Structures are given as C-alpha cells and as structure tokens.
Structure 1
C-alpha cells in the first residue's frame, strides 16, 4: 500500500527528530546535508509523486560511507557508527513509498534515537529522547488502516503517540527499579573502551580524569638509546589546549598550518622508541619537547603529533627530543591573542585577583610566584575532588580548594591570562615506572597529567606545573 503525503511527512519529520539528537556531534557539513534531505524529499515527492531513482540512491550511499571513512578513519565505533546511521536513515527517505518501507524506516529511527544515549545520559537529555518517541509513535499510528483521529489527523496522531508513550511508562519504571543493571552497557563499542584506556581527549574539563587516574593499565612503553631521564623530567606531551569556554579546555580554534614553534636546544638530544597502546585516537605522545615527527605522522605548529589514522593497534615509532629548550621565543600575534582569550561572564573573582596582582606592580615572574604560593598555602591534592559550579575556577580557588592536576592547571592558566600572561594547558603523561628486567619505562594510564605553559619574554613557552606546588611527590616520585 502506497504512503499518502501526510503519512510521508510524518515519517520525514520523525527522521529529522531522530537525527537532531546527534546534530551537535556530527561534522557541520554532514549535519546541514542531512537536515536538508527531508524537506527536499517532501517537496520532490509532492511535485513528482515518485521515488528517487536507484541510479542516484546507490552513489549517495557509497559517497556517505566514503566520506565517513575519510572523516573518522573507519566506520566502527560510536562517532562514525552513529554518523553512518543518521546518514542511512535520511537516505532511506529517498526510496520510502510504501507502508512497509515506512515501518522499516521508523524502526531504524528508534535505533538512531537510542544511540544518542551512548554519548550522554543526563536526565534532561534522556527526557528529550523519550519525548521524541511521541513523533515516532504518532507516525506509526498514522500508518494504521484506520487512524484514531479523522477530523484532525495530525493532532490525533500526536495525541495517540503521547498516550502510547504514557501506557509504556509504568513498564519502563518497573524495569528501571527491579531489573539488575550491568556495570557497563550491553551496547559497549570500541570507543567506549578507548575512552577508558586513554582518557586524553581533546577536551579537558576539571574532574574528567578521575577514572583514568586510578587505572593502572599500560598506556605506553619507552626504550631509551642512552641515559634515562629523571622522573621529574619525564613529561610526555600529547595535546596542547588553547581554548576555554568557561568549563572545558579544547583546541577547537582554527589556526593556519604555518611555521612550527621554533626550538632552541639547551641540552643534548634524547633518542627513544615508544610503543603506544591502541587508543582509537589519532594523536601520538612524545617526550617534551619533540624535534621532528616520526614516520607516517605530522607535527602541528605547537608541536603536537598526529598519526595519519587512528591508533587501533600497537604503534611503534622513534623520536628525538630535547629536555632543556627554549620554545618559540618570538610569539605570533595571533597566538598571543588566542593565549590571552577568556570567555565573558565567567569567574569574576579569579579575574579580579589576577588583576589585583598586576595593580600591585608585580611583573610576570612575581605573578607566577603569587599563583604558586596561593596553591601551596591552602590547597589539597585529592582524586576525590568536589563538584564545581558554573564559575568553576572561582569555585575551585575560593571554595573547594581541593583537586588534582586538571583543576590546578586550568585555574593557573586562567589566572595567567587574566594577568596578561599568554598561557595554555598541555595534557599528556608524567612519570612512569622503570622496568630494569625489560630495560624500558612503563607509563600507565594513572600517569595521565595536565600542566601549563606560559610565554615569557626572552624565554618563550615555559612549562609550569602547579601540581608540583601542592604535591611534589607526584612529580618527583610518581
């Protein structure tokens, strides 16, 4: 039986709602393309009354798979898998002409809605996903031979969908209360375990490393050609985070790929080989600071290393680094502006404190010293850090005064920027355990660390680790 225009419009609207639950995570070009398919298909069907030719549908499916592989590196995992599912759902509209096609598409739409909960399970978002089921149930009701409402079909279908959802709630509540829940979801995917293994995401929010810092699984092994660096020098650089939105640090701001930040070596080169555990992430780890990228990898201007593909198996690569260095003695004006940028309307107390230090006539070094003394005077290093509010840095500096490396590095960089000192957050690993039998350094996930870099005239980017002011043993002994 062929779909009438009202039934098809309900189907297309439900598909749009299902895809909307993923829009914030999809690449912008894909999100816009998928959103435009539904209205275009509704207009095309009303105008011609025909399905889209198979000669167009098949190339579109092939193109979708190809661009997802190019964008994500593969089609497996949460992010590429859900992007592929969203694309296939919208492309299904191009051939949906019969009741059978619509029911299959709506079943797939329910799966796409459910997959949004793989990323976040907050109460608000879960309720929104549940409400989106009203449209799906309304579309299913519209496919029945005798819809419940004939005078106002759309409102009647929506009312029926809401009633059906209400009838299902008691069963859902009973299942939630009485059915045992596993420690990890049945729909666990490769990315779920990758998050637990690496923890080094390209977004750092104070408090997000808690599970990682108690995980003793291996992250990487390092074989040195010569002398092994002291524990206090074992900083393994992964990501440089420039951009702060008030709660999280990212590297979202775009910067043209120009010259690398220059390095003036102040010590002999350290040559070594790293064996990196699979991460399903593209970035590589290097002893701070690397001189050149390894084979089949590239180095960004801030000396972050990226592989050509995601690391989905053991990866061995050789590197050269210098432990003593001057990094970028002459800063690019765009980098300076980016390293001073703070969001409006956040952390007024912290900004006022840093500006007060400046008003007292303190130079850069004395401002840095004041921040370190503040941490050392009354703060506590703990993995059981209290939750922070909207003004996370204010809450940390003036209320909780307890946390670990993420809290200290984030607060330190905000204070430096407020005082007019360019600063940025660096994440990676610090320390490691020397295996004398195997002659290698074992770095575990629990060695994950975050520190800061400030730019000082005549010295360039200088590493500052405020965690060392609170818990020196974390840096000296691991």
Structure 2
C-alpha cells in the first residue's frame, strides 16, 4: 500500500499545487472557526474537501449554476444569521465563504490570483478578533504559504519544485522585513479597525456592570488574562492586591446595580480626584496592561488618589473611587498609576452619607432583618462591633466557599445565612451587605480583582478572570468607608496565596503536570512572559510611544508633521540607496556573465558539471548529450545567448533572454 507521500508524488503537478493551495486556505481560515457561524465552518470544510477530491481524481469542476446556487445559499444563510450583510461579523462570514467558493472556479492563472488576494485579505481579518502572539505566528505561516503559492503560479508548469518556490517566498519575506519594521515604527498609529463583542460573562467569572445573586448554579472558571501589573518598586503583599472596578449600590432583592445603571450615560458627572480621599503611608507606583473588555473601567489598585496616566484618553473618578475613561477599552491599553494601600475616604459622619447605601427592598429576607435586630440589641450604637460579630458568625457558623452553590430562591440573604451556608464571593458579599443595611450601617459592594499570580521571569503580576472578586465597604463614623471582605472570613486562603482559584486544566496540561509539575509551571511562566513582551512592544506601540521615539531621535517637540517628514525621508533614502546599489552592481558585474553564471549554477544543481570557463555553445552540447531532445529549448537559448554577445546580426536583448529563460521548461 502506497504511503501518503508516495501518492502525492504520483499526482500531476497541477493537482499537487492545487492541494497545497487548499491546505494554505484551510490554515488561514482555521483561526476564524470559533467566531464563524457553525454552518460557515462546515460549508468551507466541505467545499475544500470536495475541491481536493476533484483535483486528485482529475475530474471537471462544477458548472457555473452550481457555484451561483451555493453563493445564493451563503448570502441567505449570512442574512439569516446576522440579519445584515454589512459589518464585521457578516463581512468576515461572506469573505470566508467567497474564498472557499472561488476554489471551485480555479481554472486559470487569473482565478488563482483572485484566490491569493482573497486569502491575504482573509488572513488580515483574523486580527479583527484576536491580536495574540499565537494568531500572529499562525498568520506568518499562512503568509509564507500564500507567497509560495503566488511565486509558484509565476513559474513554469512542472518545474521547478515547490520547495524552490518556498525558498523564494522566504527570501521575499526577509527582504521585506526591514520595510515592515520601518512602517511599523513610523507609520501614524490610527485607532484600531476592530472591536470586541459585548459582555457575555453569564456562567463565567469576571467583571460585569451588575451582579445577579443566586441565578447561577455553578461558576465556570475563566483562565483568560484580565490585566498584567508591573510594580515600579516593592510590591504590596498579595492579600492587599485589591483592584477596584464597578461599585454596586442599588439592590432590588436579587440584582445589584451601580448608583446609576449605565456607566458613561446616566453616570453622575465625575470629578478629577476626590477631595474626601486621602492616602497614608508610601504610595505604590505600578504599570497596568489592561486587556480589552469593551468597558470604560480603568482597574487601579485600591485606592488611586491621582489620575492614571493614560495616553490619548481622558480619565475621571466617580464619587465611589472608580476610575473611568472617556471611551470603552476595545484595544490593549497600558497606563501608569499611583495608589495608597492605606487610605481614608468619605465624609466625617454617616449622617451625610447618601440614603441609597441603607436602602433595602420591602418584603425580602425577613430572617436576615431579625438577625440584624438581634445584633443591634447586643451591640447598641456600636457599628464596628456589629461588623465584627457578623464576621465572627461567618468564621464559626459552618459556612463554606464553593463554586457550585446551586440556584438560590427569592430571599438570597436568608438562604445563605440560615439554610445553605454555601456560596462564592457574590453570595457572601451580598448577604453581608444586606445584613449591614438591615442594621442601619451604610454598605455597598465593590467588584474588581483580588490577588494574582507573580511571574518571576518577567517580574510582573498576572491577574486573570478567575481572580475576579466582590467585597463590601461599610461606613463607620470617624473612619469613613472601610473595606470588609467577608469571603476572607469564610475562606482565608481565597485572598492569600494558599487557595487561589485555578481553572481545570486541559488533557495535555494535566498529563504534563502528572509527569513533571515544575516543568509545566516553568512553561506556563515563560509563555506568559513572552505574551507580555508581545503586548508591551508590539500591540502597545501607541501614538505616545511613537512620538517618544522621535524625542529619542532628537526632535524637541515632535508632532505628526515631523513623523510624516521622517517617514518620507526614510523611504526616499532607501530608494536612493537601492538605486546606487543597482548602479554599482551593474558597473562591477557584467549582466551577460551574471546571466550565464546563473544558468551554470542551475545546471550544477541538476547534476551536470559545467566548467567556469565553458562557453555557451559547449554548455549547449553538454545539455543535449545529457538530457536528450527534452533539452533542445534550453540548448537553443544558450546559442541565442552566445549570439547576443558575439554576433553583430543578433537583435535579442538581455531582458528578452531573461524572460525567455523563465518560460523554458527545464529538463532537470
């Protein structure tokens, strides 16, 4: 039975080239699969397999009406799925489907060129959804594949081998790398053309604009990176790493909402800084690389007194110490901030605190209200003692932290305190806040991230979605708003380094951990450090960093005009250097001898020994003797080359001979 390689080598060259092109198209489309409609992925796979079978079996391509019918079906399915034919998602779906359909019309070189350009465009659209290092590496391989197919389409049928076309494509890529680097550094940085989908975090841990208590029976951990934090000095202990996000105040018995439900619209006018926020001790300086989240939230270590330094964005602080930007974060964002781990915030007494922080809906959680009344009788006019009594109840009352608490009923606080006694951070913080409000103590819920994982290789902290957390703040006279994390009373390790939440590992990672856990941790750390470098140096090369580069080059107050002048100057200089090199090369080397030398080297690779001083006529005789009648076009070309040099009556030019040599089917 023949092997796959033997079967492929037995196919005609046209069939092998077609299979190679289909494989490259499949590789370019593969990263799109998680974002395409299921029918589109199946359709593309079916068309590519069908086209491959036609190529292997040398069968005719389907007729025009087949292709038209499939095109209309794709248009209808796209409209049914997206309710439009425009926009990012619908457009990418159509482009991918059209690329697959065009392979059914691959009859001439012109059709191949259309496929190449559609392939290049499809490759670009992968970055609409992800700009990760893995996607970039996959698209680099796809680029080399498409360039190889493009070079191969310009070469004679049957010769040379595909490997030589790949080598030429590789050299083209290397020669184009300096141009790419210059354009990356100096081309004006524009806002990204892609966005990210809206929040879809139901059933997964992470930040959201609201918190619905008890609606999720189990929580699936999300290992995606939320942000990376690099401290520009000593880092605080892990237990103090609270990164502040949305603050939830309004409660209807099950849902917690911000004071104004939609940030950026009905949100109260923010103010730069907050006169009632004062930090104590030494401030902590750090740099945050925030992943896109389609929200205006700027996560800062609790609490940032001064505005974070965000290039190109206006930032402001709400009255609840949450920093927001002037537009949602739809691209990787890096900013610097300064925070105080120890701080004081709020008016001098609870009398001036807004009434919303004490409000509870009528008819909910009667047993929690009775519990609050008991605590008030035991500790009259002593809110700190009531807070400590509630925490003591959590520590000693048999409460358990779990990611599978089941679905709660209508009275979520009652069920947690007296029935189930299990839940994750949202259940615990909500029940605690309800108890505090029932006792007359102003309380609110703060969501964000707690802790993280230190990457020693890159000297930064990785904060993942699995580190999302919810805690409470209570107002105490003379102290202002005070952070109280009731989850720490139930599961102390959750806010330390002993019991961090870890998502379930895949089969490969589980096998690696079984064999060598240390190796798995090292690989994970190295990969995350590599990703961080990619984010910092490539994805986060922003407009401000571009202008900083100009300052390094000597521009005192760089602007876009300076950038444009520098880019044009570099292009002109490169063009002049290329022209000078070409002129020098022509002066130093005889073009006729260079063309003859190229032919000699090609023949030596084919196994025909040719002397460095052998003239074209002698080489023509050697070629005819070695390869027979099949080599006659090459032998005649060699005689034309000799005549161009030595015969006065010859009208052939070197450029014409170069083009003719490219069209000759070599016998070797």
For this structure pair, what is the TM-score category when the shorter chain's length is used for normalisation?
A: 0.5 to 0.7
* Matched residue SS, 1:390: coil
Q: Is the 8 A contact 1:194 1:279 kept in 2?
A: no
Q: Is the 8 A contact 1:237 1:285 kept in 2?
A: yes
- Residues 285 and 207 from structure 1, CA distance in 2 versus in 1: closer, same or farther, beyond 3 angstroms? farther
Give 1:441's match in structure 2, choosing from 450, 461, 464: 461
| Corresponding position of 2:418 | 398
Aligned: 1:273 with 2:280 = no
Equivalent residue pairs, number: 296
Give 2:433's match in structure 1, choosing from 399, 402, 413: 413
Whole-angstrom CA distance in 2 between matches of 1:311 and 1:336 = 30
Task: Give the ranges of 4+ consecutive aligned residues of structure 1 lying more than 4 Å apart after TM superposition.
Answer: 108-112, 192-198, 207-213, 331-334
Give 1:325's match in structure 2, choosing from 343, 346, 369: 343
Whole-angstrom CA distance in 1 between matches of 2:400 and 2:383 = 25
Whole-angstrom CA distance in 1 between matches of 2:205 and 2:247 = 16
Q: Is the 8 A contact 2:205 2:221 kept in 1?
A: no
For normalisation by structure 2, the TM-score amounts to 0.42
Whole-angstrom CA distance in 2 between matches of 1:257 and 1:231 = 33
| Corresponding position of 1:242 | 249
- Residues 275 and 232 from structure 1, CA distance in 2 versus in 1: closer, same or farther, beyond 3 angstroms? same
Aligned: 1:389 with 2:401 = no
Instruction: Select the structure that is richer in strand.
Output: 1
Give 2:395's match in structure 1, choosing from 376, 380, 387: 376
| Corresponding position of 1:101 | none
* Matched residue SS, 2:478: coil
CA deviations 1:422-450 (Å, max 9, x no partner) are: 11000000010111111111001100000
| Corresponding position of 1:315 | 333
* Matched residue SS, 2:493: helix
* Matched residue SS, 2:354: helix
Aligned: 1:306 with 2:318 = no
Instruction: Select the structure that is richer in helix.
Output: 2
Which of structures 1 and 2 has the larger relative contact order (alpha carbons within 8 angstroms, sep 6+)?
1
For normalisation by structure 1, the TM-score amounts to 0.58
Aligned: 1:290 with 2:300 = no
CA deviations 1:138-165 (Å, max 9, x no partner) are: xxxxxxxxxxxxxxxxxxxxxxxxxxxx
- Residues 239 and 258 from structure 1, CA distance in 2 versus in 1: closer, same or farther, beyond 3 angstroms? closer
Q: Offset at 1:325?
A: 1.0
Whole-angstrom CA distance in 2 between matches of 1:327 and 1:430 = 20
Whole-angstrom CA distance in 2 between matches of 1:387 and 1:441 = 34
* Matched residue SS, 1:232: helix
Whole-angstrom CA distance in 2 between matches of 1:208 and 1:266 = 40
| Corresponding position of 1:458 | 478
Q: Which runs of 5+ in 2 are unaligned?
A: 1-78, 84-195, 261-265, 501-668
- Residues 220 and 249 from structure 1, CA distance in 2 versus in 1: closer, same or farther, beyond 3 angstroms? same
| Corresponding position of 1:27 | none
Q: Offset at 1:466?
A: 0.3
Give 2:450's match in structure 1, choosing from 405, 430, 433: 430
- Residues 398 and 197 from structure 1, CA distance in 2 versus in 1: closer, same or farther, beyond 3 angstroms? closer
* Matched residue SS, 1:214: coil
Q: Offset at 1:392?
A: 1.1
* Matched residue SS, 1:408: helix
Q: Is the 8 A contact 2:244 2:322 kept in 1?
A: yes
Which structure has the larger Rg?
Answer: 2
- Residues 392 and 313 from structure 1, CA distance in 2 versus in 1: closer, same or farther, beyond 3 angstroms? same
| Corresponding position of 1:226 | 233
| Corresponding position of 2:581 | none
Give the root-mean-square deviation of aligned CA atoms. 2.7
CA deviations 1:195-224 (Å, max 9, x no partner) are: 788831110122468877611111100011
